[in-house]
């Protein structure tokens, strides 16, 4: 997590102006009006997930108005998908006015006029997605953005945004952070397509199912019984349909599972905690049936055996520690 702004770090008299500036810098140029500038309180945080990111703002009452002139003068490459967290917000864009209660989803087109506000104290979790990663016509994106609640996956993406926020410190620091961002982009694409309707729905839903399959595999990656049959059963589809989806997404299911397991084993063997753990135990822990099979696959992927890589990583840690302790000249 990166705390990008905290009023506690400013003198009381400077907090109002600093809050307005920080809000514009982390969203889009707009007019920020504070309910009571004399007692403003604000905390803004950001978590990065590859091309996607989460921006969370928690602050006292405010109004955020982006004018049409500002949108034309400073276009944004992003679109915002937000989940209201605390307080009921008032939101207006494109002639649509609504109240957004805690837990509800809304989409903000940063390239058009909008008016967003809450009273007393509120909080919002916002997913920022690059528009050029959605691979959808602008009319489909904007049509779906106007009524995201019409999408059958609205709750799914709301839950994903909440998870990326609540568990952001841990998730954004893992090697899988970029994959979580890709999943968010896939879900955003499906959200707009399914809310808009039309020819893009089937493709979008297939993409969403593929994203769910990948997430399921990552969650059960170290289960030796993980198989095409168990994955298909978990998603209520046939194994034939599963293989068709994977082929359409451009990957082999079995090979991808092996690659994921090997990568995680590679990372683990490079840590100090794995130094005294038998290779056979590591193999079983990461879903491989035996030591010989694991070693053969590992060597094919990385050019060294698991033991050789672990020894090399230990030697590098030793050299780094020695260098850090050496006195400066």
Q: What is residue 287's predicted lDDT score, i.e. its pLDDT? A: 87
Q: What is residue 201's predicted lDDT score, i.e. its pLDDT? A: 66
Q: Which two tokens stand for residue 34?
A: 């504070």
Higher pLDDT, 42 or 267: 42
Residues in the chain: 329
List the domains of the chain with CATH numbers.
1-201 (2.60.120.10)
217-227 mean pLDDT: 82
- Cβ burial 148-185 (10 Å sphere, 16+ → b, else e): beebebbebbbebbeebbeebeebbeeebbebbbbbbb
Q: How far apart are CA 81 and CA 223, in angstroms?
A: 34
Greatest mean pLDDT among 120-124, 149-153, 264-268 lies in 120-124
Q: What is the DSSP letter of 38?
A: G
pLDDT reading at 161 higher than 70: yes
Q: What is residue 326's predicted lDDT score, i.e. its pLDDT? A: 66
pLDDT reading at 95 higher than 90: no
13-29 mean pLDDT: 91
Give me the residue label for tokens 């399914």. 194
CB 222 within 8 A of CB 87: no
Nearest residue to 55 via CA among 29, 77, 24: 24
CB 198 within 8 A of CB 178: no
Give me the residue label for tokens 């604000």. 42
* Mean pLDDT of the chain, nearest integer: 89
Q: What is the pLDDT of residues 302-327, one digit of tens each?
A: 999 999 999 999 998 877 777 766 66
pLDDT reading at 76 higher than 90: yes
Q: What is residue 320's predicted lDDT score, i.e. its pLDDT? A: 75
How distant is the alpha carbon of residue 202 from its chain centre? 23
Q: What is residue 89's predicted lDDT score, i.e. its pLDDT? A: 97
87-97 mean pLDDT: 93
Q: What is residue 289's predicted lDDT score, i.e. its pLDDT? A: 81
Q: Dihedral, CA atoms, 98, 102, 106, 110, nearest 10 degrees?
A: 100
Range with lowest mean pLDDT among 129-143, 195-209, 279-293: 195-209
pTM for this structure? 0.69
pLDDT class of 217 with cuts at 50, 70, 90: confident
Q: How far apart are CA 211 and CA 190, in angstroms?
A: 10
Residues in Cβ contact with 84 at an 8 Å cutoff, skipping those fewer than 6 apart: 100, 101, 102, 103, 104, 106, 122, 123, 124
pLDDT class of 9 with cuts at 50, 70, 90: very high
pLDDT class of 59 with cuts at 50, 70, 90: very high
211-220 mean pLDDT: 79
pLDDT reading at 171 higher than 90: no
147-163 mean pLDDT: 90
Q: What is residue 329's predicted lDDT score, i.e. its pLDDT? A: 53
Q: How far apart are CA 309 and CA 48, in angstroms?
A: 30
Q: What is residue 304's predicted lDDT score, i.e. its pLDDT? A: 95
255-262 mean pLDDT: 90
Q: What is residue 202's predicted lDDT score, i.e. its pLDDT? A: 65
């Amino acid at each position: 997590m990166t705390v990008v702004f905290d009023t506690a770090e400013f003198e009381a008299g400077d907090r109002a102006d600093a809050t307005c500036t920080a809000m514009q810098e982390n969203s889009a140029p707009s007019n920020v009006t504070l309910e009571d500038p004399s007692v403003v309180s604000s905390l803004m945080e950001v978590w990065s997930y590859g091309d996607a990111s989460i921006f969370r703002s928690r602050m006292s009452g405010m109004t955020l108005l982006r004018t049409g002139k500002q949108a034309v003068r400073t276009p944004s490459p992003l679109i915002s998908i937000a989940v209201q967290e605390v307080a009921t917000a008032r939101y207006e864009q494109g002639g649509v006015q609504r109240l957004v209660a805690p837990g509800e989803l809304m989409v903000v087109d940063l390239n058009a006029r909008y008016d967003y506000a809450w009273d007393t104290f509120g909080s919002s979790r916002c997913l920022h997605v690059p528009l050029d990663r959605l691979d959808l016509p602008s009319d489909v994106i904007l049509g779906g953005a106007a009524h995201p609640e019409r999408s059958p996956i609205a709750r799914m993406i709301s839950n994903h945004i909440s998870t990326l926020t609540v568990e952001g410190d841990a998730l954004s620091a893992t090697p899988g952070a970029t994959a979580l961002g890709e999943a968010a982009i896939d879900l955003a694409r499906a959200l707009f397509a399914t809310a808009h309707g039309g020819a893009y729905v089937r493709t979008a839903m297939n993409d969403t199912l593929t994203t769910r399959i990948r997430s399921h595999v990552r969650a059960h990656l170290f289960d030796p019984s993980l198989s095409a049959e168990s994955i298909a059963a978990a998603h209520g589809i046939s194994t034939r349909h599963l293989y068709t989806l994977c082929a359409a997404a451009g990957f082999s299911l079995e090979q991808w599972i092996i690659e994921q397991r090997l990568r995680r084993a590679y990372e683990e063997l490079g840590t100090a905690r794995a130094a005294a753990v038998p290779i056979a135990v590591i193999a079983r822990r990461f879903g491989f049936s035996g030591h010989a099979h694991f070693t053969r696959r590992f060597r094919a992927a990385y050019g060294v055996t698991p033991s050789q890589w672990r020894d090399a990583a230990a030697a590098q840690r030793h050299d780094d520690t020695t260098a850090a302790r050496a006195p400066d000249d």
